Amino acid sequence: MLSTRSSGILLHPTSLPGQFGSGDFGENAYRFVDWLVSAGQTYWQMLPLGEVGPGNSPYMSSSAFAGNILLIDLEELERKGWLKPEDLIPHPGFQAERMDYALAQPYREERLRRAAKYFFMSAKGVEHLDYLEFCEKEKLWLDDYALFKSIRQAQNFKEWSSWPADLVRRETSALTLARNELANELDFWKFSQWCFYRQWFDLKKYANEKGVQLIGDVPIFVAYDSADVWSNQALFELDTAGRPTLVAGVPPDYFSETGQLWGNPLYRWNVHEDSGYAWWIARLRYALHSFDKVRIDHFRGFANYWAVPANATTAINGVWMPGPGEKLFSAFQNAFGTELPIIAEDLGLITPDVIELRDQFNLPGMRILQFAFGEDESNYFLPHHYVANAVAYTGTHDNDTSVGWWNSAKEHEKSFAQRYLGCDCHEINWQFIKALSVSAANTVLYPLQDVMGLGGQHRMNFPGTAVGNWEWRFDWAALNDGSAEKLAKFATLHSRNPRTI
Residue 398: active-site member: yes
* Catalytic residue chosen out of the listed positions 253, 292, 398, 413: 398
* Catalytic residue chosen out of the listed positions 225, 237, 297, 471: 297
Query: To the nearest 10°, the Cα dihedral for 68, 71, 77, 79?
Result: -160
- Is residue 247 within 8 A of residue 265, CB to CB? The reply is yes
| DSSP assignment of 357-372 | HHHHTT--EEEEGGGT
Residue 475: active-site member: no
CA 272 to chain centre: 23
**Residue 302: helix, strand or coil by DSSP?**
helix
CA 49 to chain centre: 5
| DSSP assignment of 49-92 | -SPP-GGG-TTS-S-SSPPPGGGS-HHHHHHTTSS-GGGGPPPT
**Residue 177: count of CB within 10 angstroms of its CB:** 13
* Catalytic residue chosen out of the listed positions 345, 346, 400, 471: 345
**Residue 106: helix, strand or coil by DSSP?**
helix
Q: CB within 8 A of 404, min separation 6: which ones?
A: 454, 455, 456, 457, 458, 459
**Residue 343: helix, strand or coil by DSSP?**
strand
Please state, in angstroms and rounded to a whole number, the distance separating the CA atoms of residues 461 and 486. Answer: 27
**Residue 386: count of CB within 10 angstroms of its CB:** 21
Residue 413: active-site member: no
Please state, in angstroms and rounded to a whole number, the distance separating the CA atoms of residues 74 and 87. Answer: 9
Active-site amino acid positions? 297, 345, 398
